[in-house]
Structure 1
Amino acid sequence: MIKATLEPECTGQFSAFFLDYLHQKPSLKPFYNLFPSLENFKKAVQERSFSQEKREVLATALTGQYQKAGLECAAVEKLRDSKTFTVTTGHQLNLMTGPLYFIYKIVSTINLADRLNKEYPDFHFIPVYWMATEDHDFAEINNFNFDGEKYRWESQQTGAVGDFVLDGELKAMLKKWRFLPDFLREAYESSDNLATAVRKYVHHLFGEKGLVIVDGHDSELKKMFAPIMEADILEGKASELVQESTEQLEELGYKTQVYSREINFFYLDKGLRERIVKVGDAYEVLNTELKFTETELRQLIQKNPEKFSPNVIMRPVYQEVILPNLAYLGGPAEVVYWLQLKKSFDLYKVDFPLIMPRNFAMVIDANTSRKIERLGIPLKDIFMSFPVWKKAYVKQHSSHDLTLNDKKEALESLMDEMGMSVKGIHPTLETTSESTKTRMLKIMDHFCKKVVKAEEKNFSEDLGRMQAIKNTLFPKGVPQERYVNLLQFYLQDEQFIEKLFQHFDPLDFNYILLRY
């Protein structure tokens, strides 16, 4: 792989909010604590408060999670040490790893931990992958794209996707999908549920790099979060603060990413994840007959905290309560919505981590690379929309003046002269002349479009290559990393992920282009 970085050319896919944060716009500083620079991690270590009691609970719970999956992770024991801290990313339980950017998230996080371990040898930094096992949007994760086809697992199961049983339908599809590498096939065939399968394949890919996998759907871990659960459900103060931040950001001209609710928790049970709402003096679980008084709800939170699942507003707070965490790495939308949440962290006296983007990358395969070289185009051009790119390319390479500007100017001058010469005959002729000129110029514009189209036909071979480049690097109109699956490259080169480690720098926020 040969690395090349781009700065402004690729930013069209990112929001102004995200870009302003990366440029440390002063108006956004109230919405975060420390900007993710190497020197700020030292300050983050000094400020991070995490008790030994929490460390023991965390390490014990994670050991149990790994043992239940038949796995071992030596890095878990290091969490008991007061000088150990984590850097974290999170993602859904996508089928067969889902889009490439899931892999990019973890590689970025592992590289960040490695960088910090070298920079601050008196401490130890562990990369963490937080599995979104409690998410219930199965349609978002039940498919993957490989080699131009979409593969899908249909299931009638409901509730938290981590609990989904790997049924006969999936097992039958595994047999049909002969292209799957052994580690993926074995992860699913040897697991009872989706959470275990994902833990197994992620551990296979990244376990030796020291990655720790956390499943927040854990009774012992949620006990540490129970006081905040109770406060948010019964008092709803976080909702007010998130709404306040949201309004302030909207006043600054930024688009809202997530919206807070009065109660930011779901009720969680086998096959069920439904919102909790307050109706009068009672607390009801939507689409069920479940109803609780305030006293009953307090008792249930203390006895069975695992029955309460945080939504997008409270999950980050939960994460920071149970981990000695310093940084969260996410995509553009994640970075933005974390900045809406700082006031809720302050409310519950929870340390707010450094919020940083994962690495963004595009892999240019050999065939596509040859097309680019044959066209002689700069790499930045591939980020243009195709209509704009096409026009710019034809205009640059045509030997003709496709705008016909000199002809338009000559026509306009001629029509002006005609108007001047006839206005003495009758006053209305000057107005008629102007309207005639306008019509003639419109006819010229229409003719110019035909000229451009005709010249585009002369460049049809080059434009075909350009379209092929776009289709490969932006399939279905989205960046490659958000569509293509790991298998697209892994099956050709099992060292693909290892090569990513060589080129990703989590503290370099440029877009990475990799010629493969």
Structure 2
Amino acid sequence: MKIEKCLIPNEKLRQNETFYTYDPTQDNSYLKRYLYVTNQKYKREQLVEVLRQYHHPELIHPSIEKNFDRLLSPDSVVVIGGQQAGLLTGPLYTLYKVITIIQLAKREEERLQKPVIPVFWIAGEDHDWQEVDHLYVPNHIETVKHSFPFENVNKGSVSSIMLEPHVVHQWLNELHQSIEDREHKADWVTLCEELTHEPITWTYFFARILHYLFGEYGLILIDSNDANLRALEADYFDQLIQKNEELHDAIDQGIANWEAKGNPSVLQFEENQAHLFVEEEGKRIALYREGDRFTSRNHFFQYSSFDLQAKHFQLSNNVATRPLMQEMVFPVLAFVGGPSEIDYWGCLADAFPVLDLQMPIVYPRQSVTIIERSIEKYRANWGVTWDTLIIGKGQALLESWKQNNQPLDVEQQFADLYHQLEDLYTPFIQELNTTIGGNMKQMGESTREKMRMHIRWLKQKAYGLIDERQEVSLRQQREVINAVYPMEGLQERCYNLVYFWNNYGLDWLHMLCKQELPELDTHQVLYL
């Protein structure tokens, strides 16, 4: 195994740096932010107790226990990031986000000589289960989707989804039968079966796998929908309710400022949205503000501010208020996010001050493409660079290759045939129409179209035969594209860990964890 880095400048981050409080590329940003955070007050003892209860009894490792103790110290800070609870950890970028959190925490602890603790929150309060109920694995030139068979799922949070062992095990059986038998297949199949030997929530299954993968690095986990966390957040929800109108205006202004710089906003909200949800009757319901009251879209549920404050166990944040809640709960040195997250954080520049908060350092997660030996061989035969493939130009190059490697006169031969047909047929039809009349012109045009259709069919067959002759090269090139840029996106946004775990084990994952934090403007190519 080896890692190479190719340069992919993050121009978007540079162009929009004025929307962020700190520049993540500057060393002094980390000391300034550290001094700010350690001068704030947090409910550290209550927070650590919440975290302990979430981890006990099974999500415990000596490194995690140590980090609980360290988090109690007023001179400690965290590097934090989060993600939805994807099936078997979801797309690979979730793992790369975790790895970035671990690496950045380690780097800054060495530089600051202070405790810096890696934390990962699981977006258990989210209710769009269709975003997390499937995974993708590569199969040569195809991308195969495996969906989990949910039944009778309501619109509550994904944390409320219970998994029955027999359902999970049946799905796992179908998944592993569709994946080639390799040395490490039994590892992931057995683990997943053991982690689901009893009924378990969707998010806790996700947490168990993350703990198995990263517990030794002291990674602390928390479900954003955890009841104990909700109790800690009660006062903070009060602030979001009391300052809701001001917060709404600040978010709207932040989006307007972002768009004024020519950026498309990833945040789109309905008018008077309160940026909070309430769970009623097992469903997560968006709230809207009407004067001094809060209401559901259909006005079926209505609350005064006092009513809503009493329901903090049923409240949850939306995409705009989650960063604010995170800032109130944790002593955040840096937040690690993906491209879309970083964009919407830029839209929140005016929202943090409303609650007397400061935006932390916003640090882009690292990006990785995993390359198998066969794929590297095919790429070398093709003669294209990884940089070109990673930015999505592979399909265009394949089409160009097909054009450049077909018999040069085929296109011209058919073009000449079309011209000859027109030169001969047009005056012929005109003469028939003149000498015979009737509907000869109409029949002639119909016959002309049939002849054109047959020529097009013949042309397709000719190209089909050419493709067959080129099939070996074309198939290899398609495999390269499907491996590196599947479904018109980066590999990390599509494929799941299970394919690479099945074929290569987990040594490559731990190698990524233990290497130094890569430069911000690099995309890593990991050769297996």
TM-score tier, shorter chain, comes to 0.7 to 0.9
Letter in structure 1 aligned against 2:207: R
Work out whether residues 221 and 322 of structure 1, in 8 Å CA contact, stay in contact via their aligned partners in 2.
no
* 2:7 aligned partner: 7
State how 1:154-169 maps to structure 2 within 5 Å: 154-158=150-154, 159-167=156-164, 168-169=166-167
Aligned equivalents of 1:70 and 1:117: distance in 2? 24
* 1:444 aligned partner: none
Residue 86 of structure 1 is aligned with which of 75, 78, 90?
Answer: 78
Question: 3-state SS of the aligned residue for 1:189?
Answer: coil
Q: CA deviation at 1:150?
A: 2.2
Letter in structure 2 aligned against 1:145: Y
State how 1:289-438 maps to structure 2 within 5 Å: 289-298=300-309, 300=310, 304-383=311-390, 384-390=392-398, 393=401
Aligned equivalents of 2:33 and 2:502: distance in 1? 40
Aligned equivalents of 2:519 and 2:394: distance in 1? 31
Aligned equivalents of 2:523 and 2:81: distance in 1? 19
* 1:430 aligned partner: none
Letter in structure 2 aligned against 1:214: I
Q: Give the paired residue count.
A: 455
* 1:64 aligned partner: 53
Q: CA deviation at 1:454?
A: 11
- Closer, same or farther in 2 for the Cα pair 1:183/1:360, shift >3 Å? same
* 2:211 aligned partner: 203
Deviations for 1:234-283, whole angstroms, at most 9, x for unmatched residues? Answer: 53211211111211221211100113453010002562211122356543
Question: 3-state SS of the aligned residue for 1:258?
Answer: coil
Question: 3-state SS of the aligned residue for 1:468?
Answer: helix
Question: 3-state SS of the aligned residue for 1:76?
Answer: helix
The two structures, once aligned, show a CA RMSD in angstroms of: 3.1
Question: 3-state SS of the aligned residue for 2:74?
Answer: coil
* 1:36 counterpart = 2:24: yes
Residue 55 of structure 1 is aligned with which of 41, 44, 48?
Answer: 44
Deviations for 1:142-177, whole angstroms, at most 9, x for unmatched residues? Answer: 111235432222232220101211135334424544
- Closer, same or farther in 2 for the Cα pair 1:150/1:390, shift >3 Å? closer
* 1:232 counterpart = 2:240: yes
- Segments of 5+ residues of structure 1 without an aligned counterpart are 12-17, 405-448
Deviations for 1:351-383, whole angstroms, at most 9, x for unmatched residues? Answer: 311111111111110111111222333322324
Letter in structure 2 aligned against 1:36: P
Deviates more, 1:457-466 or 1:193-202: 457-466
Q: What is the TM-score of this pair, normalised by structure 2?
A: 0.78
Q: What is the TM-score of this pair, normalised by structure 1?
A: 0.80
- Closer, same or farther in 2 for the Cα pair 1:378/1:223, shift >3 Å? same
* 2:195 aligned partner: 187
* 1:470 counterpart = 2:481: yes
* 1:173 aligned partner: 171
Work out whether residues 489 and 496 of structure 1, in 8 Å CA contact, stay in contact via their aligned partners in 2.
no
Work out whether residues 92 and 133 of structure 1, in 8 Å CA contact, stay in contact via their aligned partners in 2.
yes
- Closer, same or farther in 2 for the Cα pair 1:378/1:281, shift >3 Å? closer
Deviates more, 1:389-398 or 1:460-469: 389-398
Work out whether residues 337 and 363 of structure 2, in 8 Å CA contact, stay in contact via their aligned partners in 1.
yes
* 1:136 aligned partner: 127
Identity over aligned pairs, percent: 22
Residue 510 of structure 2 is aligned with which of 494, 498, 501?
Answer: 498
Question: 3-state SS of the aligned residue for 1:484?
Answer: coil
- Segments of 5+ residues of structure 2 without an aligned counterpart are 177-184, 413-458
Question: 3-state SS of the aligned residue for 1:317?
Answer: helix
Aligned equivalents of 1:127 and 1:402: distance in 2? 61
Aligned equivalents of 1:454 and 1:377: distance in 2? 25
Higher relative contact order (CA 8 A, sep 6+): 2
Work out whether residues 42 and 331 of structure 2, in 8 Å CA contact, stay in contact via their aligned partners in 1.
no
Letter in structure 2 aligned against 1:43: K
Work out whether residues 99 and 484 of structure 1, in 8 Å CA contact, stay in contact via their aligned partners in 2.
yes
- Closer, same or farther in 2 for the Cα pair 1:348/1:494, shift >3 Å? same
Question: 3-state SS of the aligned residue for 1:361?
Answer: strand
